[in-house]
Amino acid sequence: MNSKQRLKATLNHIQPDKVVVDFGSTAVTGIHVLILHKLRKIYGLPEKPIVVNEPYQMLGEVDEELIRQMGIDTCSIVARTNLFGFENKNLKEFVTPWGQQVLVPEMFITNKDEHGDLVIYPEGDVSVPPSGKMPESGYFFDTIIRQNPIVEEQLNPEDNTEEFELMTNEDMVYWKEQIENYKTKQSDKGLVVGIGGTAFGDIALVPGPFMKNPKGIRDITEWYMSTIMRPDYIHAIFEKQAEIALKNLSTLHSIAGNEIDAIFICGTDFGTQDSLFCSPETFDEMYKPYYKLVNKWIHEHTTWKTFKHSCGSILPLMPNFIDAGFDIINPVQINARDMDSKVLKERFGDQITFWGGGVDTQKVLAFGTPAEVEEQVKQQCDVFSKNGGFVFNAVHNVQANVPIQNVEAMIRGVKSFNGEL
């Protein structure tokens, strides 16, 4: 099998020739730029600046040399603009606060605030308040909440839907170019895409870090309270968002056809370390109708598989995710409460693909020994890989200060399981 065939079999719960490996296809399966820099050294590759392709989390582009070294089976196409509202083009050099030289988009424009923290601007526009902040000792940006005073009787759901727009001609040209590039250069890889606009209540997006002057409810606490206090307001937002999303999905299908293997739908988290953010009943009432609309359209019109991200202890919601039509769950936080790999595979392994869960990033990858990392990787692959339905990735992104020997051990573990060593 080539990588695309391997991923297709996996997503259809057919045993592939080996475990599919993904690093870098989404903003929740990526690798920090500092780790990519160190990996190049580990593998004896020439030193060069890493391209920042997701500036919010400072994730880096996994280039062809690393793809080969790491045995990656996937590639991706993401929306034309990133979380700060500008395109990843016209790269320039930038030295990070930790001293690494990287390449960033031209509109990646920063300043230091009065505390010495790095701030970044929506669309690179320094005439408006910054929308992100990287603490002086940090490695990625946090969202700056820019909530205007809320006047209850003046709240208008349209203020929270202005970011949801139909694809422009520029967007369509971009997608045509990207799809042609994929067919020409990477058609043997599994293709993962994300067009944006399909995530309902994703808390990374609610504050509008990509918007110059966000209106409506943009404070995270206020948003969560609104799901209980103002359910009609939230439903009005989701209804409009779903309407636009379905039209954009149709446009994307007219461009890409069935070249796409998996599409990132939503990054809304429903779990904490020990519990749920909301009850299954609330999920069914507030969120599931809109997920069902999107997933149903995709399954009726395409061969794409739909990708749902949710961190945390989400075992009670797994049947609800499946009923909503999701084909893939990520990151499979195996160290959260009740997220036992064997239980998950036994109960749901024939209904949903586990994309992630290859190693515990909070404890084992970050603080274990290389031997412990490699052993856990092999154990997780053994549990999850039976009869397909498993794509190897860590539990969420690989962070900046993970020991590089442990990252190397993680990759070695999956290669060893796949019989490549």
> What does the domain layout of the chain look like in residue ranges?
3-86+148-417
- The two tokens of residue 99 are 């001293």
Q: Kindly give the confidence (pLDDT) of every residue in the chain, 421 residues in length, as a single tens digit, with 9 standing for 90 and above.
A: 999 999 999 999 999 999 999 999 999 999 999 999 999 999 999 999 999 999 999 999 999 999 999 999 999 999 999 999 999 999 999 999 999 999 999 999 999 999 999 999 999 999 999 999 999 999 999 999 999 999 999 999 999 999 999 999 999 999 999 999 999 999 999 999 999 999 999 999 999 999 999 999 999 999 999 999 999 999 999 999 999 999 999 999 999 999 999 999 999 999 999 999 999 999 999 999 999 999 999 999 999 999 999 999 999 999 999 999 999 999 999 999 999 999 999 999 999 999 999 999 999 999 999 999 999 999 999 999 999 999 999 999 999 999 999 999 999 999 999 999 9
Dihedral of alpha carbons 198, 139, 396, 101, sign: positive
Q: How many CB atoms lie within 10 A of CB 281?
A: 9
Q: Which amino acid is at 96?
A: T
Q: Which two tokens stand for residue 334?
A: 């195996």
CA dihedral in degrees (38, 39, 41, 45; nearest 10)?
-140
The pLDDT value given to residue 124: 98
Tokens of residue 319, six digits: 């049947």
pTM beyond cutoff 0.85:
yes
Q: What is the predicted pLDDT for the residue at 84?
A: 98
Residues contacting 67, CB < 8 A, separation 6+: none
Contact 355, 328 (CB under 8 A): yes
Alpha carbon 277 to chain centroid, angstroms: 19
Whole-number Å distance between alpha carbons of 150 and 144: 17
Instruction: Evaluate whether the domain defined by 3-86+148-417 bears CATH number 3.40.50.12780.
Output: no
What pLDDT is stored for residue 242 in this prediction?
98
The C-alpha atoms of residue 331 and residue 333 are separated, in whole angstroms, by 6
pLDDT at 112: 97
The phi-psi region of residue 257 (left if phi > 0; otherwise alpha if psi is between -120 and 50; otherwise beta) is left
